[in-house]
Amino acid sequence: MSFVFDYDGDTMTGLSTVRVFRQSAVETITDNRTKHAADLVAARKGWREEVLKIGYELVQETEALACEQAASAEIINSIIREFEAPPRSHLDDYDRVIEMLQWSRDEYIELTQQEFDQYIRDEWHWKREFVTSNAKYGV
């Protein structure tokens, strides 16, 4: 897969936009989307396993302390605080860009540095948080 770069000047220093072949961009973003979808499936699997583990611990703790209602309620509350939201999907971000590019009638498109980082390099504003928060699930 190759990109066609069209820029002013002799070097890429100070380059603020780049023109790329639209179909190459669509293919790259689709590949990035596929990887995100696989990472999301793996992260959600790890999250479910963690929730089941914590849930099992909750049942064990509450059964052991069933006669002590106040202690049981405190344990339940502390374990519930351990639950995190499930890994968040960002597939809509990819889908929106892919659809926009597919509707474009231009053979080449112009991307800003930020758009290039997001669409081509797969460095979205949410990416670092997604990777960090799902690292414990093996993603």
The residue among 40, 45, 48 whose CA lies nearest residue 94 is 40
pLDDT at position 96, please? 98
pLDDT of residue 31: 98
Run of H or E including 110: strand 108-112
The residue type of 139 is: V
pLDDT of residue 46: 92
pLDDT at 111 over 80: yes
- Indicate the range of 22-26, 38-42, 75-79, 107-111 predicted with least confidence: 75-79
Model-level pTM greater than 0.85?
no
- Distance CA(51)–CA(59), nearest Å, equals 12
Is pLDDT larger for residue 37 or for residue 54?
Answer: 37
**Phi–psi pair at 108, nearest 5 degrees:** -120, 150
Q: Does the pLDDT at position 41 exceed 50?
A: yes
